[in-house]
Every structure is written in structure tokens, then in C-alpha cells.
Structure 1
Amino acid sequence: MTSIGGAEMVDWKLAVATATRLVRPGPDVSRDEARAVVAELRRHAKASEEHVRAFTRMIPEGTEPQDTPVLVVDRAGWIRANVAGFRELLKPLLGKMQERRGNSPGGAVIGAVGGKVTGVEVGMLLSFLSSRVLGQYETFAPASRDLPAGGNGGGRLLLIAPNIVQVERELEVDPHDFRLWVCLHEETHRTQFTAVPWLRDHLENEIQSFLGETDVDPMTILERVREAAQSFAGSRPEGEADDDGGRSLVELVQSPAQREILGRLTAVMSLLEGHADYVMDGVGPQVVPSVAEIREKFQQRRAKGASRLDLALRKLLGMDAKLRQYKDGEKFVRAVVDEVGMDGFNRVWTSPNTLPTKAEIAKPADWVARVHRKGDA
């Protein structure tokens, strides 16, 4: 990405420094215990491959998809990995905004200040999220010396050890069962992307289309943010109707074209998250003795959040929508598998045209009717 006067739109180094400085300390563990946790997560990740592949039947026997690394990291490692991913994914958008800013009077000076302010804001957001993520398949992961990734743009699976230990203690569940349960969910995401080679490019194209529709005029963006802030503060200008429907800040700053793209992205993410939950529940009873207890306690934790501030931030960042994706997507997968079996469901991975629409996520029978037409068995 080009820079004006040496300043980028986001000071990524400052983002990492801010996030790692503000991140909460992890749970108290001895060095020996930490090593044991890391070793066990690696074993569970490896074992999960076989369990998930056997249950999903996404990878034909005798074939081996492109390998992607499994990394057990701490919160700082998760932050560094995500900053690298954001930087890669946002390059086109930030480059376009930077070019526009560079042509304006005082653009370089504004950029130097704005990049640092944005870097701090990104760092604060990542510090908040870094203690809440148990695992993540990083789809758009550039490789680095500290954080390897799969070849040819392949991703990597991150397991955040301190967060897993913290949650298993909070829930008071069997730690060995909980660690395997988490690995089953994350391995499903890894299988989705390694077994379906076109999925990564499809998602990237959709995201880039979404970003490409972003209005790069700073005043327009600021106006949208102002309106969004007013909606959350309950201080809309007099006479304006409250018709935002409780949308998040992310949704409120979108154009109509972006909302259309977001609908498709929401459907895909609902499918991926719901499929992972379905697989986790399907495999769980066979290999995780206390899966019922874990599931019940984890669902309660998901629903209530940690505090009033946590609930407010979840709403602001659109994280409530992600929780709905788990629930709606799992219902879709379960209904389709019940109707046409696992092999019938797996037709969803044939091409972008067989992915469910947002409406079909809510009405699985419509997807079955479209994809499994009579005479098209």
C-alpha cells in the first residue's frame, strides 16, 4: 500500500502495540501447566481431523486437501495474526482512500495524525476481542516468520490457549472434554476451506465488492458515523423516525449496494457457523463424554454476555448478529440433513450458486427445492 509522507491510513504497528498493552492478563497457570495445555490442544486438533472428516464426508477417501497449519497462540499472538489479516484484506480500500486524501490540501498532515488515531482505535477493539475468541480459522492469512500459513494463500487455524483455559474454568466443566469440543468446532471450519477450494476466493471477492462500494469521501463517512452514534445514543434529530430496526454500527454505515452484498455474506457465514455447530454436536456424543453439560453451559454464556458493557459493545459491533448466525445456520443444516441426508446437504459446497441465500437460511425447504429439483438427483 502506498503512503503519503510516510503515513498510512492506519498505523498498524501502533494498533498492535496498543492492543498488546491493553489486553487483559490471562488466567493463572504454571509454566508446566501451560506446556501441557498447548500439547493437549495440538493432540486434540489432530484427532479432530479424523472425527470431522468421517462425520461430514466432505473429503473423499484417498484424497488429501492442502494442509494448513494449526497454531496454539496467546492473546498477543492472536492480535498480531489478525492485524496482519486486516492489513492484507483492507489494502485496496485503504489505498483508494489514501489516494483521495493525498489530493486534498494538507492530506499528508491529516494522514499522519489520522493514521495514529485509527491505529489506537483498532488496537482498543482488538484488545477487547482478544480475550473472547477461543479459536479462529484465519482465511486470509499472510504468512510470516512467527505465524506460518498454508501455501498459495491457504489459511491457518489458531487456538487461543489462555481463553480456552479461562472459559473452561468459568464454566466449571471437564477441561479435557472442553478442549476437544472447541477443537471439533474449529477443525470443521478448517475442513470447510480446505475441502472446498473455491470458497476462500468467493468470500474474498464478496468482501472486496463490499469494500469497493464504500464511499471514500471522508465527510460522507463521518456523517454516516454521526447518524449511527445518534441512533445508539437515542438522540436522533427532531422529526426523524427511529426506523433503524436496532441495527449495529456496521450495518448503519452501509449503502444499499453494500446491504445486498451483506445479505449474501450473512447467508454464507450463517452456513459456515451453523455447520460447525452441527458437526460439533454430531461428533461430540461419540468422543466428548460431558458434551451435553458443556453445550448447555456454553449456550448460557453466549446468551448473557459478561456484563452490561460487554452487551453494549456486542450490539455496537454487530456481534449479536454473529450469535444469531450460529442458531439460524445450525437450524438450516439440521433441517436439510434430516430431509436429504449428509450427502444431499453436501451439495451446498458444489459452487457459489448452490450456497443458500439469506431467505433460504430461514426456509431450508426452499433451498432443497431449488438445489434438489426432481430429475436432478
Structure 2
Amino acid sequence: MVDWEFAATVGARTAPAPPQVAAHEAEATVRELREGARRSTDLVRDFTGLEAGGGPEAPVLVVDRPGWIRANTESFASLMDPLVEKLTQKRGAPRPGSVTHAVGSRVTGAEVGGLLSFLSSKVLGQFDPFHGEAGRLLLVAPNLVHLERELEVDPTDFRLWVCLHEETHRVQFTAVPWMREHLRGLVGEASGSVDPQIVLGDLVKRVAQVARGEAKDNSLVELLSSPEQRELLDRVTGVMSLLEGHADVVMDGVGPSVIPSVRQIRRKFTTRRAGLGTVDRMVRRLLGLDAKMAQYRDGAVFVREVVDTVGMEGFNAVWSGPEALPSRAEIHDPATWVARVHG
């Protein structure tokens, strides 16, 4: 269904040009990001009380935009297996190895590559929990350099701030050993339940609705969902809001003790998010990036309110098992989660 190698090639060739950086500056940036990730481990542990565990350690990869694109085609290929299998079982699906199959997979690969090309200049860092035994931490060096220059913030402070966020994700998945397979199961269940006829038949109409502002949903993913799929998406949203909000709380909570300019960085970073142009906002909405920003905001409010109520140790009950995870509704009503989990 998707030629992932072709997607990586298209994405790499069309990725926006990186900022101009001298060789010695690039080398120094890589060293500083690696050191920032290493330093963040103890800072996150001390603030959260979570121990990363004694298993295999996730590697830290400082990558450029093509490197980030290739890493994500590998992850998508793994996660989309259930959906691909379902689509190929449909009557009339192109036979693997046929001309129709080859052409179709390259067309889809080009589309995925174009999407990843657009995203490759937006992502600062990413923890991929599904790679290998321990996952991997990706830090996209040119994007950090570009944004720290645009915001006119201290590069050392900004890089450590981002490392704190991504290292928190690594700790979440290593200190909570069931989280990886739980999330994989939710993603697989959601993607495997997609009806290809609905996707193909309604896609153009749905895009037009979003573009005209006639749809209340945040993204195409939600627009193309049945009631059953929406229930799954609500569960996924609850988990992702928790993970992203927790990481935001940690980066801002640890920040004042080790990052002198953290308040300035947060203020400028938030202001920039709100100052996007009309076209950029529409594209972000179509891709679900507005929903992603809401996860950071709503999840952080949830974490702070729970910690204020029952303390960090009480909040950490959220990691005790899948049944303790907040629902999407509880993310917006932290008191309900506290009452359910703590009585």
C-alpha cells in the first residue's frame, strides 16, 4: 500500500533547506544536545520520582531533517501493518507485485513523503517508543537551531529545555514497562478498524468542510471516524494528553533550577504558537496539529491540578496500570480522576 523507501526518498528531497551553520558550530550543537539528554535523566527522575529502570537504554540520535523523515517511515511501516493487512484483504485490492500495486504504492509513498517533508521542519524532538527494545530519542538539530535563532533565546538554555521534555517521554516508557504495548495496542486497534471505503469516499468532502470551517472536529482523523473509532480515539487522546502534558510540566518545573531564562523561553515559545498565519493554521488543523497543541495544554492543566491536590506521589498512581490512565473526559475534569483513583 505504501512504498516506504520511496516515501523517505521523496521526503528527504523535498524537505526545507536547513539553517546555515558552520561545521564547528554543527559539531558543538550535536555535543550539547547529547549532553543535554544525558543531564536530563537525573533531573527528570528527581522531579518526578520515576526510575527509568535497568533495561536496555534508549539511544540518543541527533538527526537532520532527512534523518527524522527516514526514522518515521520506519515507525509508520511498523505501526500501520494492521491497516495495510486489512486493506489488502479487501475484494479488488491490487495483487502484490502487480503493476497496479507498484504504481499505487509509489503514489501513496509520494504523498506520505510530502507530508513528512512538511513536518520535518516543525519537530524539535521525538521519542519513538516502538523502535527496538528500548525505543530511541530523536533530536532534530537544524530545527532547534532555526527556532532558537528566530526566538532570540539562549541556545544552551533552549536546548536543555527541549531535552527535558523528550527525556521525560523516555522515562515514561522505561519506568512504566506496560505503557509501550498498551499504546501500541490502542494505535493498532484504531488503525485496524478503519473502513477504507469511507476513507476513499469521503476524503475530498471532509477536507473541503475543514477548509471552509464547517466542521467542528479538530482533524481529518476524527472526521473519518465512526462512533466506535471515536471511542478508541478518545482513549488514545487521553493517554497522549497525559504523556505530553506531563512532559511539559516537567520541563517547566525543572527549568527554573537549571535554566536561567526558562520563563522567557516559555513566553516566547507560546507567543510564537499563537502567531501562525491563516494558511499554516489551516494545514495544522487538517493534519491534527492543533489537536496536538491542545494535548500539551490540557494535559499540563490536568497534571498540575492533580499534583496540587494529591502531590506528586499521588499523581504517580496514574502509572500503576492501564485502568488508572485518565480518559479524555477526565483530562478536562481532574477531580473526577482523583475521585476514581484515590476515592
Q: TM-score, normalised by structure 1?
A: 0.87
- Three-state SS of the structure 2 residue aligned to 1:279 is helix
Q: Which residue of 1 aligns with 2:64?
A: 74
Q: Any gaps of 5 or more consecutive residues in structure 2?
A: none
Q: TM-score, normalised by structure 2?
A: 0.96
Q: Which residue of 2 aligns with 1:94?
A: 84
Deviation (angstroms), 1:59: 1.4
Query: 201, 213, 219: which one pairs with 1:223?
Result: 201
Q: Which residue of 1 aligns with 2:230?
A: 259
Alpha carbons of structure 1 residues 103 and 363: separation in structure 2 relative to 1, 3 Å: closer
1:39 aligns with 2:35: no
- Three-state SS of the structure 1 residue aligned to 2:90 is helix
Q: Which residue of 1 aligns with 2:281?
A: 311
1:320 aligns with 2:290: yes
Measured against aligned partners, the alpha-carbon deviations of 1:226-257 in whole angstroms (never above 9, x if no partner) come to: 3312313449xxxxxx5x31432121111111
Query: 209, 232, 235: which one pairs with 2:210?
Result: 232
Query: 327, 339, 343: which one pairs with 1:369?
Result: 339
Q: Which residue of 2 aligns with 1:16?
A: 8
- For 1:290, the aligned partner's letter is S
More helix per residue: 1 or 2?
A: 2
Q: Which residue of 1 aligns with 2:43?
A: 51
The answer (yes or no) to whether the contact 2:61–2:137 under 8 Å persists in 1 is: yes
Q: Which residue of 1 aligns with 2:127?
A: 137
The answer (yes or no) to whether the contact 1:41–1:183 under 8 Å persists in 2 is: yes
Measured against aligned partners, the alpha-carbon deviations of 1:251-294 in whole angstroms (never above 9, x if no partner) come to: 11111111000001101100000000000111000000000000
Distance 2:97 2:206 in 1: 26
Alpha carbons of structure 1 residues 268 and 33: separation in structure 2 relative to 1, 3 Å: same
Distance 2:95 2:138 in 1: 43
Deviation (angstroms), 1:21: 0.7
Q: Any gaps of 5 or more consecutive residues in structure 1?
A: 1-8, 142-148, 236-241
Distance 1:228 1:103 in 2: 24
- Three-state SS of the structure 2 residue aligned to 1:39 is helix
The answer (yes or no) to whether the contact 2:217–2:223 under 8 Å persists in 1 is: no
Q: Which residue of 2 aligns with 1:146?
A: none
1:204 aligns with 2:184: yes
The answer (yes or no) to whether the contact 1:274–1:333 under 8 Å persists in 2 is: yes
Deviation (angstroms), 1:103: 5.4
- For 2:18, the aligned partner's letter is G
- Three-state SS of the structure 2 residue aligned to 1:289 is coil
Q: Which residue of 2 aligns with 1:174?
A: 154
The answer (yes or no) to whether the contact 1:157–1:186 under 8 Å persists in 2 is: yes
Distance 1:106 1:208 in 2: 22
- Three-state SS of the structure 2 residue aligned to 1:197 is coil
Deviation (angstroms), 1:108: 3.5
The answer (yes or no) to whether the contact 2:299–2:331 under 8 Å persists in 1 is: yes
Alpha carbons of structure 1 residues 339 and 104: separation in structure 2 relative to 1, 3 Å: same
Deviation (angstroms), 1:139: 1.5
Give the RMSD, CA atoms, in angstroms.
1.8
The answer (yes or no) to whether the contact 2:86–2:192 under 8 Å persists in 1 is: no
Deviation (angstroms), 1:97: 1.0
- Counting aligned pairs with the same residue, the percent is 55
Distance 2:100 2:91 in 1: 8
Tell me the matched-pair count: 343
- Three-state SS of the structure 2 residue aligned to 1:86 is helix
The answer (yes or no) to whether the contact 2:95–2:101 under 8 Å persists in 1 is: no
Q: Which residue of 2 aligns with 1:25?
A: 17
- Three-state SS of the structure 1 residue aligned to 2:196 is coil
Deviation (angstroms), 1:304: 2.3
Q: Which residue of 2 aligns with 1:112?
A: 102
- For 1:134, the aligned partner's letter is L
Distance 2:340 2:34 in 1: 41
Deviation (angstroms), 1:347: 0.3
Which range is displaced more, 250-259 or 105-114? Answer: 105-114
Alpha carbons of structure 1 residues 309 and 103: separation in structure 2 relative to 1, 3 Å: closer
Alpha carbons of structure 1 residues 285 and 234: separation in structure 2 relative to 1, 3 Å: closer
Q: Which residue of 2 aligns with 1:192?
A: 172
The answer (yes or no) to whether the contact 2:83–2:193 under 8 Å persists in 1 is: no
- For 1:223, the aligned partner's letter is G
Q: Which residue of 1 aligns with 2:115?
A: 125
Distance 1:298 1:352 in 2: 33
